[in-house]
């Protein structure tokens, strides 16, 4: 059974600020090999969700540089997975964080922003770490940034914002059912499961 839990924005931002100018050794650094921006934002989103989707090709996960979903490190694929774009629609209702494209007025810390060039190619993913009046401050890698003003990205022709609405996780309630069916106390099973 799938349930939705909150996306922990504070944890995502804390992670982003800690690693924006450094590299977490648990993850490969793709700088110089296509860029590390979406890999970095995926790490921060993982810190705020603690849930990956291991569906081959259409999931969102990282095991190693050779065993990761395209959505983990690809700008367009990240967007497609998080928003449930057509090829990923069945996954958007599945396990993992999920988002929707919103206007600037709906963003919060921990959300993502993507930049496109003049030809419409989406090339950069950043995480929103603070909102100071009219200025959005972001953290990023490839072109490392810690609380950099979004307005300073003058080469971008356009931008889109991804607001994370939550995280879908799977819970196993079969023990509760089996215990109840056998005449046991399902609350005792629940307490054990929560410990």
Tens of pLDDT, residue by residue over 120-153, are 999 999 999 999 999 999 999 999 999 999 999 9
Q: What is the mean pLDDT of residues 165-180?
A: 82
- Predicted pLDDT at 88: 55
Is residue 190 scored above 80 in pLDDT? no
How large a percentage of the chain has pLDDT more than 70?
Answer: 90
Contact predicate 61/27, CB 8 Å: no
94 DSSP 8-state letter? S
Higher pLDDT pick, 12 / 189 = 12
pTM (2 d.p.): 0.87
Average pLDDT over residues 54-79: 95
Q: Which residue has the higher pLDDT, 88 or 126?
A: 126
* Range scoring the smallest mean pLDDT among 81-85, 121-125, 161-165, 172-176: 172-176
Residue range 102-117: average pLDDT? 97
Confidence tier at 181 by pLDDT (50, 70, 90): confident
Cα(2)–Cα(110) distance, rounded to whole angstroms?
23
The C-alpha atoms of residue 72 and residue 77 are separated, in whole angstroms, by 8
Q: Which two tokens stand for residue 109?
A: 């810390």
Dihedral, 73, 74, 75, 76 alpha carbons, nearest 10? -140
Instruction: Calculate the average pLDDT of the chain.
Output: 90
pLDDT-wise least confident of 22-26, 53-57, 154-158, 171-175: 171-175
Which helix (H) or strand (E) is 90 found in, with range? helix 89-92
* Mean pLDDT calculated for residue range 106-133: 97
Q: Where are the beta strands (DSSP E) in 23-132?
A: 96-102, 112-116, 122-132
Q: Are strands 96-102 and 158-170 parallel, antiparallel or unpaired?
A: antiparallel
Q: How many domains does the chain have?
A: 1
Strands (E), 35-172: 96-102, 112-116, 122-132, 135-140, 145-149, 158-170
In terms of residue numbers, what domain contains 186? Answer: 2-194
Does pLDDT of 103 surpass 80?
Answer: yes
Cβ–Cβ < 8 Å for 72, 36: no
Overall size of the chain counted in residues: 195
């Amino acid at each position: 059974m799938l349930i939705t839990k909150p996306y922990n924005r504070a944890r995502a931002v804390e992670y982003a600020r800690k690693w924006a100018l450094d590299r977490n050794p648990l993850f490969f650094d793709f700088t110089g090999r296509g860029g590390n921006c979406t890999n970095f934002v995926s790490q921060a989103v993982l810190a705020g969700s603690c849930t990956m989707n291991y569906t081959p090709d259409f999931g969102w996960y990282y095991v190693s540089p050779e065993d990761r979903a395209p959505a983990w490190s690809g700008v367009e694929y990240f967007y497609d997975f998080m928003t449930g774009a057509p090829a990923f629609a069945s996954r958007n209702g599945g396990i993992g964080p999920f988002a929707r494209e919103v206007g600037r007025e709906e963003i919060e810390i921990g959300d993502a922003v993507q930049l496109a060039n003049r030809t419409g190619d989406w090339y950069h993913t950043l995480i929103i770490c603070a909102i100071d009046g009219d200025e959005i401050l972001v953290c990023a890698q490839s072109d490392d940034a810690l609380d950099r003003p979004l307005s300073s990205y003058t080469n971008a022709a356009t931008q889109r914002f991804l607001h994370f609405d939550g995280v879908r996780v799977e819970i196993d309630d079969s023990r509760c059912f089996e215990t109840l069916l056998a005449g046991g106390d399902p609350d005792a099973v629940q307490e054990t499961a929560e410990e």
